[in-house]
Amino acid sequence: MPDFNSLAIWQLSHTLTLKIYSVSHDFPKQEIYGLTSQIRRSCSSIPTNIAEGCGRSSNVEMRRFLIISSGSASELHYQLILAKDLNYISEPLYKELCAQLLNIRRMISAFIKNIPIR
């Protein structure tokens, strides 16, 4: 399995996670155990599961963790919609984050399709 640090998909998802942590720092304090926690968890789950998949011994396991990562990306997408609709993030920031997320989701999908299953 590849070293996760060398994967562009991990690097981009890690960068997005850092951005989400920064952005969510300004969410209302009453959201600390709500949306702030949820959005950080779903976002950090993307690179975490990529890293965990790379640490596994088979392509089947790698694929499974990428599928989990893809699910976390879908969860994050909804949470970004919610943050925008609650006016916690601006429309331009929402579009920027969603564009980054869409790129990551496409990369995850392509990675899954290119993993040989034996």
Rounded to a whole number of angstroms, the distance between the first and last alpha carbons of the chain is: 15
Helices of type H across the chain:
8-24, 35-54, 59-85, 91-113
Amino acid, res. 24: S
Q: What is the pLDDT of residues 30-75, one digit of tens each?
A: 999 999 999 999 999 999 999 999 999 899 999 999 999 999 999 9
Query: Whole-structure pTM over 0.85, yes or no?
Result: yes
Nearest to 73 by CA among 45, 50, 96: 45
Q: Residue 108: what residue type? A: I
Go through the domains of the chain in sequence order and give each one's CATH number. 4-113 (1.20.1440.60)
